[in-house]
Structure 1
Amino acid sequence: MASLAARVFRAPMATVTLVDDEWVRCCAAHGTPAQTRPVRRAVSLSAAAAGHDGVLVIPDTGADPRAEADPMVGGVPGARFYAAAPIDTPDGHRLGSVNVMDVHPRQPGAEELDALRDLAALVANELELRLAAARVVAAERQMRADAERLARILQRTLLPPALPQVPGLSAAAAYHPYSADEVGGDFYDLFPLDGNRWGFFLGDVCGKGADAAVLTSLVRYTLRAAAVYDPDPCRVLANLDAVLQQEHAGGAPSPYCTAVFGVLEPATDGFAVTLAGGGHPPALVVRADGGVEALRTEGGQLIGILREPRFVQVSTRLRAGDAMLLYTDGLTEARTEAGSRLDEEGLAAYLAPAAPADADDLLAEVHKLIGSLGEGVSDDTAVLALSVPPARRSQPLRSLGAA
């Protein structure tokens, strides 16, 4: 715009300046590269233009006292002619001016002054567009920040604030969101049952956002309530399936989920584990000796979407130094650097060197793994780790005569 103004006037110099209470700032210049630094309002001709009604014309700056202190006049380049059209917003706010200068005194023509007014109006429109765009960007950033904050709050309400302490067992859980502003449907819990038994579950509902949050809340409540009534893992999943089937009995879209539900019962050598799965990836047991076993519930079907689904139950024991990891498919469906899925075999191979590992160790390994996968991760991941502490080695007794 400054170049166009200079061309219209056939002048060597032109600027576009913005004026505030103290400073005049040049935001575009033609022929004056050294004069782009801010100038005090008190000494700038642009301030005089901002206070002038209409186009300000000074045919000879040497004969006008308003120009004496302006560095463009008193210093290099020694401007002798000055003309400026104000930049006004539609609501009447004056932002600055479009300025044209020459090193020789002159008298501009009417067409030149009209063109200068038009250029100032174009600058005002451009500034309004940029301001509007900045406002939109700021509003979108604020909306995203609000959405992220609400998502974090809502996500926390869908997960237990802390896992209970189970005598003789270590437990740890973590949730790794894929999107900061969208609520996921991954869930987990660990809670007491009758006597000295404990229930646990982990799963993933369909969808994202508010609908997934509502469904997750329903699933967690139903699993806990069903387990208190009858903790048999297959019957717990069957009860959950019945509730979800009822949710879409009126023809609404079918809500469904995958889940693993299990029961822990203390044993003389650790814990007996019985679990059932419905369409969910197998839990992995990391043995103290470094072996990794997949607890596959072969044939276990999705929960809530099929008529008379089949659920499968398996059992194992967690002994001293053993650990078990439950996870959602956001982990095993992540892509490696080679472009292939991590899958259960890849996860098992990654965890094997961590043995013997406690629950916190397993979660730390999973955290490192997710970090290393980077952009290969495309979904939320929830993990629940349970471990039995290693047996303590007894210290040999010293002989009475030992020094």
Structure 2
Amino acid sequence: MAQPDEAATRMHEPPLTGAVEDDFGDLYEHAPFGYLSTLTDGTIVRANATFLTMAGRTRADLVGRVRFPALLPVGDRIFYDTHFAPLLAMQGEVREIAVELRRPDGTRLPVLVNAVVKPAAEGRPAVIRLSAVAAADRRRYERELLRERQRAERSEAEARHLAQILQASFVPAALPAVPGLDVAGVYRPAGSGDEVGGDFYDLFETAHGWGMSLGDVCGKGARAAVVTSLARYTLRAAGIRDARPAEVLSLLNQALLRERTDRFLTAAYARIHHDGAGRPRLKLSLGGHPPPVRISREHPSGAVGRPGDLLGVFDDPKLRETEVELSPGDVLLFYTDGITEGRGADGVMFGEERLRRSLEAARGADAQGVAEHLVDEVVDFQSGLPIDDIAVLVLRVPD
């Protein structure tokens, strides 16, 4: 029994008769979605006015005469028979299945279909109750999203292809043969390789012997690529004209300053020549670049060369030269900082000690084998996705 205060409250409530729609027949017929019932074989036994409008048909066209799958195009009909109906039989319901309704005028209406099974009871057969929500706007949106995604994927693929072509111009297609030396170079882009990096190397013949360069421009992308191209070809032109490595780097520094670029770079340049006994020797200069590493039986192993200033920063950078002797079995590695600064999963860098151990482990291989062994180790150390570009140039004196 209601308490007096509850009774009083109810007496003052506004009458709900007429405020709430109670014509369930009208609600069924004109619901904001199509509603139909079928037998388990798909034969339509009931459909509301909304569904008839969506399908462009009359009740007499459908009820008792047509199976629901017959309203679908061939592909959706096959999907209904092979997936929709078996899932419905196993689970008793399916949700948000995207199909199309074929209309008599040849047009198609995308819809999302939900279905549940009402089990047989009291002598009545089992019935499948389905609802269909028009999804034309959603389908157009999804198709537009798909087109935009495909367009973006094509653009990305084109950008990656252009990056690969441009990057390939920063290293020789093949290194020339140098008497008395086995030489090899390897370049590995950062990440998936879809952005142009700033690493480069080169080896070319001059009137004074052979010129060799390797460098790393700050940053990535198109602006870094412009500076990388300028650096490589300036070094080649200057190396052909001048035999002094420090002067070659100085000319590159002047070119960078003239261009007023905001990118600096590091570079190593060496002139390879042979002494009176025909043994290879290098005169080396470093412009802010990591010194090359030598593995040798006759000479102390480790870094060689004297440090110099970054290029593209100072008007008069300090650049020094070092004479390097090479003996049979020696390996001399030039590399960019993508080697030593590669980070493993724990954040630890690959470092110079791992670099030396890798060279020692591969010293019996030819120059190509040494280069590939080192780069593979660095890439594996970073779980296959290096955070920076990697460039190496290996000189090896045959035994």
TM-score (structure 1 length as normaliser): 0.70
Map of 2:201 onto structure 1? 188
Distance 2:102 2:217 in 1: 56
Q: Which of 212, 228, 233 is residue 240 of structure 2 equivalent to?
A: 228
Map of 2:59 onto structure 1? 57
Deviates more, 1:134-143 or 1:270-279: 134-143
Is the contact made by 2:345 and 2:382 (CA closer than 8 Å) also made in structure 1? no
Length, aligned pairs only: 328
Query: Structure 1 residues 189 and 44 mapped into 2: Cα distance closer, same or farther (>3 Å)?
Result: farther
Q: CA deviation at 1:148?
A: 0.9
Map of 1:200 onto structure 2? 212
What percent of counterpart residues are identical?
34
Establish whether residue 245 from structure 1 lines up as the match of residue 280 from structure 2.
Answer: no
Distance 1:349 1:270 in 2: 26
Query: Structure 1 residues 369 and 321 mapped into 2: Cα distance closer, same or farther (>3 Å)?
Result: same
Deviates more, 1:375-384 or 1:182-191: 375-384
Q: Which of 324, 336, 350 is residue 328 of structure 1 equivalent to?
A: 336
Q: Which of 278, 281, 285 is residue 290 of structure 2 equivalent to?
A: 281
Structure 2 gap segments, 5+ residues each: 1-26, 46-50, 71-76, 89-98, 126-130
Map of 2:167 onto structure 1? 155
Map of 1:307 onto structure 2? 315
Map of 2:375 onto structure 1? 367
Deviations 1:219-253 (A, max 9, x none): 111111111221201111111111111111xxxx4
Deviations 1:104-152 (A, max 9, x none): 89xxxxxxxxxx7xx633x222222222222222112111111111111
Q: CA deviation at 1:185?
A: 1.0
Establish whether residue 272 from structure 1 lines up as the match of residue 281 from structure 2.
Answer: yes
Distance 1:365 1:175 in 2: 13
Query: Structure 1 residues 290 and 311 mapped into 2: Cα distance closer, same or farther (>3 Å)?
Result: closer
Secondary structure of the corresponding residue to residue 381 of structure 2: helix
CA RMSD of aligned residues (A): 4.1
Q: CA deviation at 1:158?
A: 2.3
Deviates more, 1:337-346 or 1:201-210: 337-346
Query: Structure 1 residues 172 and 336 mapped into 2: Cα distance closer, same or farther (>3 Å)?
Result: same
Establish whether residue 171 from structure 1 lines up as the match of residue 171 from structure 2.
Answer: no
Query: Structure 1 residues 98 and 169 mapped into 2: Cα distance closer, same or farther (>3 Å)?
Result: closer
Secondary structure of the corresponding residue to residue 324 of structure 1: strand
Distance 2:341 2:264 in 1: 19
Establish whether residue 94 from structure 1 lines up as the match of residue 96 from structure 2.
Answer: no
Query: Structure 1 residues 15 and 349 mapped into 2: Cα distance closer, same or farther (>3 Å)?
Result: farther
Q: CA deviation at 1:50?
A: 10
Query: Structure 1 residues 327 and 158 mapped into 2: Cα distance closer, same or farther (>3 Å)?
Result: same
Is the contact made by 2:309 and 2:319 (CA closer than 8 Å) also made in structure 1? yes
Secondary structure of the corresponding residue to residue 196 of structure 2: coil
Is the contact made by 1:270 and 1:388 (CA closer than 8 Å) also made in structure 2? no
Distance 1:171 1:325 in 2: 10
Secondary structure of the corresponding residue to residue 253 of structure 2: helix
Q: CA deviation at 1:287?
A: 1.4
TM-score (structure 2 length as normaliser): 0.70
Deviations 1:48-102 (A, max 9, x none): x99986354359843x3x4599699xx999xxxxxxx97699xx95145567899
Q: CA deviation at 1:255?
A: 2.9
Amino acid at match of 2:198: G
Query: Structure 1 residues 322 and 96 mapped into 2: Cα distance closer, same or farther (>3 Å)?
Result: same
Secondary structure of the corresponding residue to residue 319 of structure 1: coil
Secondary structure of the corresponding residue to residue 191 of structure 1: strand
Amino acid at match of 2:56: G
Distance 2:229 2:61 in 1: 77
Is the contact made by 1:86 and 1:120 (CA closer than 8 Å) also made in structure 2? no
Secondary structure of the corresponding residue to residue 332 of structure 1: coil
Secondary structure of the corresponding residue to residue 329 of structure 1: coil
Query: Structure 1 residues 57 and 160 mapped into 2: Cα distance closer, same or farther (>3 Å)?
Result: same
Secondary structure of the corresponding residue to residue 331 of structure 1: coil
